[in-house]
Structure 1
């Protein structure tokens, strides 16, 4: 389930990057539009994009921190239980081999 969640998070972050890039392009294209309301809308959109960028950065930082913590925990487990780790790896390899062999 965590793999599905991480894939969904990666897709969401990618989609958000695309939306931000499109919005920035739209702002550049409408920069020559005159009027107080156009300037007001552009400033509000720019403010929201800056907030979205900051949120995206925070989400990436949290994802990196979680990945590092998981890697550290795995490293500690392997160093503390080398034979268990070898057994688990062999079991997973056997299951994967059996699944591949069925096809």
Structure 2
């Protein structure tokens, strides 16, 4: 009878050892899968951020061109007005200077 118990114990020990090895193999496989999925997710996020940066940079360049164009147009109109009406421009500048002087003098 003790012979059968010993065989049962050895069989159970071997089964437990095999289960532990299986668990270790599954853990390593899970780790590899997780690493691969994480790497893929990081790469996808990097690509999305690069695309977003490219869109944002293009929009910023477009807005800068529009602002530059608008500023040049406004400066040209202002210059034309001053050339066409020099005394009005001098009067407006003097009035603006007086108002700013009064406001700063009150401080």
* TM-score after normalising by structure 1: 0.62
Alignment correspondent of 1:36 = 40
Equivalent residue for 2:97, pick from 83, 93, 101: 93
CA distance in 1, matches of 2:57, 2:91: 44
Larger CA Rg, structure 1 vs 2: 2
CA distance in 1, matches of 2:98, 2:63: 36
Higher normalized contact order (CA 8 Å, seq sep 6+, divided by chain length)? 1
Residue 72 in 1 paired to residue 100 in 2?
no
CA drift at 1:90? 0.8
SS of structure 1 residue aligned to 2:60: helix
5+ residue gaps in structure 1? 1-33
Residue 56 in 1 paired to residue 60 in 2?
yes
- Higher share in helix: 2
Number of corresponding residues:
70
Moved more, 80-89 or 60-69: 60-69
CA distance in 2, matches of 1:78, 1:102: 31
Taking only aligned residues, the RMSD between alpha carbons, in angstroms, comes to: 1.3
Alignment correspondent of 2:88 = 84
